[in-house]
Amino acid sequence: MDLGSTLLIVFISVALEAFFSGSEIALISVNRIKVQQRAGERNISAQAVLDLLKTPERIFATTSLGTNLAVVTSTSFFAAYMVTHFAENGDLYATLILAPFILFGGEIVPKLVFQTHADNLIYFLVWPLKFFCRIFSPLNFLFMRISNILLERVLETEQIKAKTFSREMIRQIIRIDSKTSELDIAEKKMIHKIFNFGELTVEQCMAPLIQIYAIKDTATLEEAHQIAIDSGYSRLPVFHERMFDLIGILNTFDLLDLPRDNTPIDGLIRPAYYVPPNKKIDDLLKELQQRGLHMAVVVDEYGGCIGIITIEDLLEEIVGEIEDEYDRPEKRYESYADKGYLIEADMEIGAINEAMNLDLPKGAYETLAGLIIDRLAKIPSPGEQVVVNGYRLTVRDTTKRKINTVIVREMPANAEGNANPGAPRSESKTPSSPPTPGKPPGPPET
C-alpha cells in the first residue's frame, strides 16, 4: 500500500477515535436539565440524547469498542507500511510518529473541546453515535455477556443493575466548581441542608424551655386571649404548676368564638405529643404529618420537658428562617466599635459564622453563650473575656444565670500569638455602645 492510502486510513481512524472519545465525555458533561427542557419543546435531537442517556452501558460499550477499533486500525496499517519500507526499525519509527497523533489528536484535544462545548455539540453527535450503536450492537451484546459472566462467576461479583450515588458522592459533585454548574450559592446550601436533614436530632432544632411562651392549665379565657395577643403564636403549650410539666397544647383559633371571661381553658386543651431529644427530625416530620400535628413536646429521660419543636422549626432547617406577617423582625446582632459585633448570646454559632463570616468553633454547645461557658466553666461577669480562634469574646451584659450580650472582635495577627486562648480576663474599660438589640420577652419565671 502506498503512503497516500496509508495516511488516509490513519487520518480517518484517528478522526473516528476522536469522535468516540469526545462523544463519551460530551455525554458525561452535558447539562441534562437543559436537554430535558429542549426535549420538552419537542426537539428531536434532545429526545435522542435522552434515549441514549437511559442506557449508559450501551453508550460506553459503543465508544470503547469504536475507540479501540480505530486505534488498532491506524497502528496496524501505519506499522505495516513502516516495516515494509524501514525493515527492523519500522516498528520503532511507527510508534514514535503515530503515538503523539493518537494521544493528542484522538484523545486529549477532542476530550477538552467536547467537554467545554458539550451542550452545543451533543445535538450533532447524537445521530452518528446512535448509528454506531446499531452497527456495534451484536458485538456489544457479546462482549457485555462475556464480561457479566466473568464478573458473576469468575470474580464472584454481582452485576450492578443500576448506578446509584451516595449522599457523600452527590455532596462532592455539588462542591465541584464546574463551568456547567447552574447552581448559585443559596441553592447549593439548600441542597446540603437537605442531605444533612436526616442527620439532625430534635435537640439540635428545638426551642429550649426558657424561650417558650406557655400558659397555665388553670388560666381563664381572658388570660388566654391576652397571652395569645401578646405572643402572636397560634399554638401555646399548657403547663401544670411548673414550666417543665407541659401537659397539652392550646390552639388559639379555638378562642375566636369564645367570650373573654373567667371560664377555665381546661376544656380546650389538646393532648401533647412527646418525643425524646435524640429523635431524628426526618422521622419526626413524617410522624407529625401522619398524626396531623404541628407541634411536639421534647422530654428528657426523667420525663421533664426541655423544649418544643414545630413543623416550622423543621422546615427552617432546609429553607432558613420563615417569617409571616405577624413575626416581629429580631435584630440578633449589630456592628460595634473597632470592627466588632454586638451579638445576643443565645444566637447559634452556625448562624453567627454564616451571617458575619466568622470562624467560631463548634462543640458540645449550640450558642455563643455556650461557647463562653464551655471555656470558663462558670457564668461570667460583665467584662470577662475569652480568646478563641483569633477572636476576643467580651461579655457585655449578664444576669445571675445567663449571658445576654457579647462583643466579638477579631484580634490582630500579632496579638493572637501572645494571647492565652480560653483565659478569662476583664476589660479595663467598657466602651460606650448603642442599645442592646431588642428581643421579645420570654415566659414568666415559675
CATH number of the domain encompassing residue 374: 3.30.465.10
By residue range, what is the domain housing residue 374? 333-426
Other beta carbons within 10 angstroms of residue 40's beta carbon come to 10
The whole-number pLDDT of residue 40 equals 84
CATH number of the domain encompassing residue 312: 3.10.580.10
- Asked if residue 174 belongs to a domain, the reply is no
Q: How many domains does the chain have?
A: 3
pLDDT digits over 156-208, tens only? 555 444 455 566 666 666 665 544 456 667 777 787 788 888 889 999 899 99
Residues 15 and 109 in one domain: yes
Q: Grid coordinates representing 81?
A: 507500511
**What's the predicted TM-score (pTM) here?**
0.53
- Asked if residue 434 belongs to a domain, the reply is no
Residues 29 and 141 in one domain: yes
- Asked if residue 192 belongs to a domain, the reply is no
Residues 286 and 345 in one domain: no
Least confident of 9-13, 146-150, 313-317: 146-150
- Asked if residue 131 belongs to a domain, the reply is yes
Other beta carbons within 10 angstroms of residue 439's beta carbon come to 15
Q: Are 191 and 315 in contact (CB under 8 A)?
A: no
Residues 343 and 298 in one domain: no
Residues 121 and 33 in one domain: yes
Q: What are the DSSP E strand ranges found in 181-245?
A: 207-208, 215-216, 235-239
CA-nearest of 430, 388, 431 to 411 is 388
pLDDT digits over 259-270, tens only? 999 999 999 999
pLDDT digits over 117-137, tens only? 988 888 888 899 989 888 888
The whole-number pLDDT of residue 425 equals 42
CA-nearest of 39, 53, 68, 69 to 129 is 53
Residues 377 and 314 in one domain: no
- Asked if residue 170 belongs to a domain, the reply is no
CA–chain centroid gap for 89, Å, is 59
Residues 240 and 364 in one domain: no
Look at residues 267, 285, 319 and tell me which one is the last residue of a structural domain: 319
CA distance 385 to 376: 9
- Asked if residue 160 belongs to a domain, the reply is no
- Asked if residue 161 belongs to a domain, the reply is no
Residues 74 and 139 in one domain: yes
Look at residues 131, 154, 177 and tell me which one is the last residue of a structural domain: 154
Look at residues 292, 319, 346 and tell me which one is the last residue of a structural domain: 319
pLDDT digits over 387-414, tens only? 999 999 999 999 988 999 999 999 886 5
Residues 47 and 113 in one domain: yes
- Asked if residue 308 belongs to a domain, the reply is yes
Residues 149 and 24 in one domain: yes
Burial 111-139 (b: 16+ CB within 10 A, else e): beebbeebeebbbebbeebeebbeebeee
CA distance 86 to 103: 23
CB contact set of 230 (below 8 Å; sequence gap of 6+): 213
CA distance 295 to 206: 10
CA–chain centroid gap for 147, Å, is 37
Residues 311 and 405 in one domain: no
pLDDT digits over 82-94, tens only? 888 777 777 788 8
Residues 313 and 369 in one domain: no
